[in-house]
Amino acid sequence: MKDSELQRARTAKSKLTKRLSGDGNVVGIGLARVKGKIGVKVNLRELRVGDRAVPRSVDDVPVRTEIVGRIRSRRARA
């Protein structure tokens, strides 16, 4: 992976985070391998029709979505 590829993915992630802010269905946004290169992964609570669409790419950086459900904290076991 080239540093420039990683920087482009970080910039795309930042843009997408701003674009999707306030969307309660988005539970996480991070970097991941997408189509063989570094891209952006958007974790969604559920699949909803009519929600703001997550683009397939941002500035030629690929974007992948995954339905992961509700995110809950885990309590430490004593």
pLDDT value at 1 more than 60? no
- Residues 67 and 47 sit within 8 Å (Cβ to Cβ): yes
Question: Model pTM greater than 0.85?
Answer: no
71 exposure class (CB count in 10 Å sphere: 0-12, 13-18, 19+): exposed
- Residues 21 and 28 sit within 8 Å (Cβ to Cβ): no
- In tens, the pLDDT along 24-67 reads 899 999 999 998 899 999 999 998 766 668 999 999 999 999 99
